[in-house]
Structures are given as C-alpha cells and as structure tokens.
Structure 1
C-alpha cells in the first residue's frame, strides 16, 4: 500500500505541520487525536486566550538588587568585593533560571501558541539583560507572554515602558536639552515602521517626546515631568506638545506599521520567500482589526495557502524551537540545567541574550557546517544521555560565556518512551519507519533514507529498542531541522 496516501496519515501530516509552526511540535497521541478534528477547531484551541497566563517567576521584587546598586553598596562600604561578586553571580544565575523556566513552559505544550508568539516577539522586541537584572527581564518576558495574542498597540506600549527596554535603549539618559535618540530610533526602525519610512527629523523630535520616560530601581515605569521636554515638536508633519504616548499613537495610525509587522510574522510563521500580494491582504486585515494579533494568526493558520506544499519544510527550526520541540515530542527532561544552556550557546540562540537590538537574523543564518553537524548529533546526545565533545562557539560575549558553567556537556536526561511507544503499539513492523517519520519529519522518507535507517536496526533488538533506534535515526536526519 502507499502508506502516505492513507487519509489518516495525510491528516496527521497536516496537524504535525500546524503544531510545528504554531507551537513546538506534537506528541504522537496529540497528533492522532487532533487529526480527527476539523482543522479550524484545532486552531481555535491553540488560540484559546481565556486561560490565565501563569507568570514566570525567579525573583521577588523585594529580593532584587541590580548590579549598579550592588557596586554602589560596595563603594559605600556596605559589602566587600567577594560578596559583590557572589551577588552578581546569583543575579546571572537567576536570569539563567528564567531562561530555563520559559523553556519548560514552551516544552510543556500548555498555551503553546502563546509561548511561540512570545518567542517571536522576543526576537522582534529584542532586549538583553543589562547589568544582569533578573527582575527587569522577568517583567519583560511576562509582558511579551501576556500580550502575545492581544492587540499590537497594547503590546507596543507595554514593552516600550518596560524598564528592561528603557534601560537597554538608553532612555533613562534621554532628558530635555540633552535628548538621546536611541530609543526613538529603534521604536520606529525595528518595532513599527521599518527603515526608510521616517525622517531623521522625525527621530530627533520623537526623542524629545520620549524624554521623561524612566524607571525606578524597583522595576516601575515612571514619567518624570521635570526632565520632559514640554516644547512643541513636529513629527510626521504634525505639530504639538507631544509626549511619548502621542508618538506611539501616531505610529499605530500609520498603516505602514501593519505592513511591517505582518511581513515579519509571515516570514516567521509561513515562508521567508515573500508573497507581496498575500502580505498586503493580511496587513489590511490586521490594520482594520485594530492590530488584533490573535485574529491575524487565526486567518493565517486556517488559510488553505498556509498548507501549500511550497511552505512545508521551508522553515528552519531555531535552536530554541529545536530544543523545546524535542523535549515536548518525547517528554524529555534534563536532570541538570546546564546542558540546555550549552545547546543554546552552541547553536547561537540564548534566551534573553539576543546578539543586538535587531534580534536573531534567523532563517538560513541558523545553519553553518559546524552547527548543522551538532544539530544532527543532538538527538543522539539527548536520547542516549551522552557526554558531548563539541565546544560552544566563541561569540566574544562575556555575558553568555558566564553562563557556561561546568556540567554543560554532560547530558543526563529522562525520556518518556512509554507514552511515545504506546502510540505505535499496533503499527505493523514493516510500517514502523514510515509511521514514525509522519510524526517527526515534514517529508515522506526517501528510499535511500529508509535503507539507511533499516541498516541501524538490529534483528536481535526488542520492539521497544527498534522504536527508539528508528526515532533517534529519523531525528538525526537533516529534514528534522525543518518544519
């Protein structure tokens, strides 16, 4: 029989594609159950935003002491250098814990589209932990997650007023008579309009409007009127005594913002090869809906063209998608935290440490000769709990290097093989490679791939051992890197 022509497996393939794009993959039982439901109903379940968002929590506000404050305490004689170093180390460790806690949420499958969308927004509103401040990054991450599927205007305002972002983009130094243009520039260039859709004069005047947007050491946004420039500004040909909120409103009034955001969402969730006509249609819907992110995503994920063969397998998994997806599909837990940081560093995507304000470039930039080899070896390391001989790339980033503590290369994992194998209990032996491939890969197995996998299966193996051998072999194929 033609295994892939069976209607049920066509449905499984479609749901697997949806869950890989809109979430972090699916377990075999999830794919089997959801493939029996209308696709629109599955998308509605993914979009269910009624469930309360449980905040990430690694530090209480009253426990948090920033690096800058710690150094001030040392200068005042309130603590010695050794205590200072230990406190800074603890702050960095809490940011690491925040990274892993968020990764746990992604891998859990709960609210998966919200977490996937928040990961997208983390790249769009790229922000690094400055001074290793875990509270600021915790608030920033929770803001992304809370607003991930809401209205873009609410998200834009909330992120723009996050202390982590104001600190990262130097707006604390933006004062009347001495404006700092960094924040205003990035809000226009990277967050809303895109390069070439504003003038340098717009930047200068908007920077004046954002004067006074500051924050307290406790992580609260404050508007300091005494350092705000109250004079008239001319921005986008409008003149008035504008404040930061007025600039945000002007950016949202401009339909170019809808086009810019829609383009980035399309490239992330659909295909890096752009379809201008389709993106313009989506941007129009997005603008008319008042920038409703959930509505835009529902339109994309239920459209027939989303499932077009040219889109299937066109997306390269980011390191975080790869790791979270592997964990979710097979119920993988790591006995120690460091290996997951090691994987992120080695593959070039550490949560809360984007390379710059533009975020991770993504797409084909994720792959080079060394990273592809490690990606293909990773399933073997994870599923066989092996020690890794690869070293992370030297990125010259002292912040991510400080995360690389001992134990990162010692993979000790627990895999929920029992649940995974149960889904294939009734699969005939001859169909096992194809059934597993439908669950794990975007394309049917080629004859040469099937031959390669069959050579790895030993006749003396038990059924359980064969499932594990085939699964590891399939996840080690280059196609597993695609969705």
Structure 2
C-alpha cells in the first residue's frame, strides 16, 4: 500500500474530539462525507446512521438482559454476582466505543453518564444500571430537560442517592442536594432551605431493593405543602407529586446557572480544561435560546474559534487511551469467548491505566482534566498497554487486527520512510526527526536501512516500533 495520506489539521482535530480517536478508516469516512463539517452534521442525525452493532454486541452478555429480580435471585443462588453484571455492562460500553458507527452519540453518552453519574459498582443500583445507561444513550442528543427528568426519576439514581426510601416524614436530602449542586445550578446558587424543599419535592418514589426489586410511586410517601426552591414555587397539595417533580426539573434545566454549567461541561470535554469564558457565555445563550436542546449547542461549539484553536490540548483519560489504541491498531473485537478474549479484557485494561468506566465512587463523576491523568504510574501503564496490544499478546484472542507486513507501505522501504508511514497511520501526523531517532534506537536499526518483509524489524521487532510511535504525546492527547 502507498504511504499513508495525511488528514488536514481540522479533520484530525474533529475526529479526535468527536470520536474515540482518529483512524485512517475514519479519515476516509470523513472525506467520503465531504469533509469534517458534513461528517459532524451527519453524526448528529443518529437515526440515519448504522447502529446495528449496538444491538448485536448487547447479546454478547446474557446478564445484561436480566430483570432486576432475576439478577438478585441469580446472586442469591451463587450463579453470578451483581458486580459481574456491572463488569459486563462496562465491557459493552467500551466495545461500543471501539466499533460503533455513531461515534458522536457514544461520546455524548459517556459524557452524560459521568455528569448524571450512577456508579456501576454498588449492589443497590446495579439491577437498574443497565436500563439507566441505555436510556441516557437514547436521550444523549436530545434536550437536557428530558434527560434530567429521565435520570433523576430513574430507580438507578433513586437507589444510589437514597430517594427510593425518602418519605414525607423523613425525606432524604441526598438526591435533592446533588440535583442542585451537581446536575443543575451548582454551588453558591442555592441555600440549605432550597435543599430541604428539593428533597421534599422528590419524595414518593419507592422500590423494594431486597426482594422483588419492583419500583413505583406511592402518593402517601410524598410530602404535601408549599415548596420553594430558588425561583420555583408550587402549592404541592396533590398526593401524586410527579407533576410537581416534572415542573421542578424543567425549571432547573432551564435555569441560567444550569445553562452555564452545561455549557462549561461541553466546553471542557471538547475544547480545553480551562475554556474561555466568552465561549461558555455563548454556548449558554444557545442552550437557553433552543430550550435546552443539545445539538444546537454542539454545533455552536464545533463552529467556534475556541474549538478550532484547541488542537491537542486534552489528555486522554485511561478508558479513552484504551479505546483509541484498539481503534488505531486496527483491532476488530469479536463476541466474547472467555476471560482472555478482547471483549472481556478491555475493562481490565482500562482499570490498569487508572479507572474503569463508571467506577468513580463519588456522585460527581470522574474528572475530565489532564492533571487527573498525568501521573508517572498512568504513563507507565499506558506504555505497557501499547506494547502488549502492539504484539497481540494481551488480550490473546477474540479479535482480528492489522499484523506483520500489512504495516509496510511497499515491499521495500527505507526505515525512516516506514516510521513516517506509521506515524501518519497511527497519529495522522508526519514523523518528526526525534521520533525517527527514537524508533531507530528501539529496534536497533539505521534510518537509511532498507526494510522488507523478511527484515528483523518486521519479523521480530514490529511491536517495539509500533509502541514507540504510540508512546508519544501525539497519541496520548486528543
């Protein structure tokens, strides 16, 4: 094959931010669509994209299809632990990120699952966690008001933040507080009285967490009486408080402080750890103008000068590094065949780098800042990941990948040209001179040496060569 073509700076930037990593295949898709802007617009039209992999891969893990009661009974019998179901859910999410066509949808699903965070680790929320995540994915590109209503009233959130046992006489403040502090207006906007009334509004949702696992709503458990939170007031006299909850959540979703928090969340994810204040103000204005719709905000961000200027300014999280490495090395994950298959091992690989998906223990969700993921231990773990995957040693089965001479651009090629080809293929960039030197030292080769299919570089040292290219900042950032 010829020397790999280079994408434009803009194309590579868009691919790295709005997908799980630039690849030559994705580059071809963007060019076929007519450029990054048209590709991005198409990605927002989720119903027109091939999403069959999402449904197919869901069938790889039968545990994900269990009802809450079935899951509990299976654990009681000793057949399977709820933690194992949560492991399967995390695997499914990672595998989707590697191979699903609607990449923007996957990125946004991850963003909302971390913002409206319910850890996939606790027993109380585990039986409801799969349906929670699937529902967030369905709403990830809709209106934030709808997403907030769904998340706050879902039994997974109710179990995690103790709202399923919150009653009129003994309201739990956990969800009422985090709703204000984390999910909507943020600190410094509300008072302790607001928290108490927030908790009162949310009473009435119930669940049997240790037998039938059935959930519902009991009007007798709902607090009745006038409530006031910020500028929201309601007489709240009916036994069924769900209309009050909807009105309250819709109010919070449209609050100016929530608009700024959502705008900042998106700006941090797609622009930089410290996004410009002017960008946040602009995005918040678009959010309110379009009644909490997310697509117009993403479009405004995509078209902003701040986004265009933010190339390579974000450090990849552990899970992003794992997924991007799978993608750029040409791994295609097959249905799970056991603990040493890629579909199973991928979650352990993310954990080895610092954090598996949805295992952050606090309700604020895992951080999306570079300073959280730039320790020495993280870097060493990433180097090990790149090496074992470049060699195809771990995971050891359950995948197909690019191997051997498929990495050669021609039957004979100078070593420095080969390094440039690999840099173009793996990072979308030309190889700087220092990378050629580092690669030559790694495989004990001269830059001008001729490489063929029988050369030791291809037969024995190719994993070292690929790893050296992957260990540079160009792959560790997005």
Q: TM-score, normalised by structure 2?
A: 0.83
CA 1:262 to 1:65, structure 2 compared with 1: closer, same or farther past 3 Å? same
Q: Give the equivalent residue in structure 2 for 1:417.
A: 402
Q: What's the offset of the Cα at 1:90?
A: 3.5
Q: Give the equivalent residue in structure 1 for 2:228.
A: 234
Q: Deviations over 1:357-393 (max 9, x none)?
A: 1111232201211111111221111121346xxxxxx
CA 1:142 to 1:419, structure 2 compared with 1: closer, same or farther past 3 Å? farther
Tell me, yes or no, if structure 1 residue 118 matches structure 2 residue 109: yes
1:204 to 190, 196, 212: 196
Q: Deviations over 1:406-437 (max 9, x none)?
A: xxxx7557452169947945996443323332
Q: What's the offset of the Cα at 1:62?
A: 4.3
The range that moved more, 203-212 or 292-301, is: 292-301
CA 1:210 to 1:114, structure 2 compared with 1: closer, same or farther past 3 Å? same
Q: Give the equivalent residue in structure 1 for 2:375.
A: 368
1:60 to 49, 65, 73: 65
CA 1:417 to 1:61, structure 2 compared with 1: closer, same or farther past 3 Å? closer
Q: Deviations over 1:242-261 (max 9, x none)?
A: 43222202202311111001
Task: Give, in whole Å, the separation in 1 of the partners of 2:111 and 2:124.
Answer: 22
Q: Give the equivalent residue in structure 1 for 2:239.
A: none
Q: Deviations over 1:84-131 (max 9, x none)?
A: 3724x4432222112111211110042111111111112111112421
2:38 to 24, 27, 41: 41
Tell me, yes or no, if structure 1 residue 316 matches structure 2 residue 315: yes
Tell me, yes or no, if structure 1 residue 29 matches structure 2 residue 25: yes
| SS in structure 1 of the partner of residue 190 of structure 2 | coil
Q: Give the equivalent residue in structure 2 for 1:403.
A: none
Tell me, yes or no, if structure 1 residue 214 matches structure 2 residue 214: no
Q: Map of 1:378-393 to 2, 5 A cutoff?
A: 378-386=385-393
| SS in structure 1 of the partner of residue 367 of structure 2 | coil
The range that moved more, 37-46 or 335-344, is: 335-344
2:475 to 455, 459, 480: 480
Q: Give the equivalent residue in structure 2 for 1:19.
A: 15
Q: What's the offset of the Cα at 1:237?
A: 4.2
| SS in structure 2 of the partner of residue 173 of structure 1 | coil
| SS in structure 2 of the partner of residue 214 of structure 1 | strand
1:9 to 6, 11, 14: 6
Task: Give, in whole Å, the separation in 2 of the partners of 1:286 and 1:49.
Answer: 20
Q: Give the equivalent residue in structure 2 for 1:79.
A: none
| SS in structure 2 of the partner of residue 171 of structure 1 | coil
Question: RMSD of the alignment, in Å?
Answer: 3.0
Tell me, yes or no, if structure 1 residue 350 matches structure 2 residue 345: no
CA 1:64 to 1:353, structure 2 compared with 1: closer, same or farther past 3 Å? farther
Task: Give, in whole Å, the separation in 2 of the partners of 1:427 and 1:182.
Answer: 65
Q: What's the offset of the Cα at 1:226?
A: 0.8
Q: Map of 1:177-326 to 2, 5 A cutoff?
A: 177-215=169-207, 222-242=216-236, 243-308=244-309, 311-326=310-325
Q: What's the offset of the Cα at 1:175?
A: 0.5
Task: Give, in whole Å, the separation in 2 of the partners of 1:164 and 1:133.
Answer: 5
State the aligned residue count: 439
Q: What's the offset of the Cα at 1:219?
A: 6.5
Asked if the contact 1:313–1:443 (Cα under 8 Å) also holds between the matched residues in 2, the reply is: no
| SS in structure 2 of the partner of residue 222 of structure 1 | strand
CA 1:378 to 1:422, structure 2 compared with 1: closer, same or farther past 3 Å? closer
Task: Give, in whole Å, the separation in 1 of the partners of 2:152 and 2:70.
Answer: 22
Task: Give, in whole Å, the separation in 2 of the partners of 1:383 and 1:316.
Answer: 21
Task: Give, in whole Å, the separation in 2 of the partners of 1:372 and 1:9.
Answer: 27
Task: Give, in whole Å, the separation in 2 of the partners of 1:220 and 1:422.
Answer: 54
Task: Give, in whole Å, the separation in 2 of the partners of 1:440 and 1:193.
Answer: 41
Q: Give the equivalent residue in structure 2 for 1:441.
A: 427
| SS in structure 2 of the partner of residue 176 of structure 1 | coil
Task: Give, in whole Å, the separation in 2 of the partners of 1:455 and 1:26.
Answer: 27
Asked if the contact 2:168–2:200 (Cα under 8 Å) also holds between the matched residues in 1, the reply is: yes
Q: Deviations over 1:298-355 (max 9, x none)?
A: 22224344221xx111111111111111112223246255532322222222223222
Q: Map of 1:106-145 to 2, 5 A cutoff?
A: 106-129=97-120, 130-131=122-123, 134-145=126-137
Q: TM-score, normalised by structure 1?
A: 0.82
The range that moved more, 187-196 or 455-464, is: 455-464
Asked if the contact 1:170–1:182 (Cα under 8 Å) also holds between the matched residues in 2, the reply is: yes
